[in-house]
Amino acid sequence: MWVNKDNIKINHIVPQLNWAISLVVIVIVIISHQIGG
């Protein structure tokens, strides 16, 4: 039971982490291009 609940929590958290990481990467790329360009 606990393992199933933990898996559900992880499955809900992982997509949010992926979105956060992708947004951070995009922001870093934009800033680096603005500074470099």
**0.85 exceeded by the pTM?**
no
> What is the per-residue pLDDT for 30?
96
Q: pLDDT at position 2, please? A: 65
Number of domain units in the chain? 1
CA angle centred on 28, ends 25 and 31, rounded to 5°? 150
pLDDT tens sequence across 1-37: 567 888 888 888 888 899 999 999 999 999 999 988 6
**Domain residues for 21?**
1-37
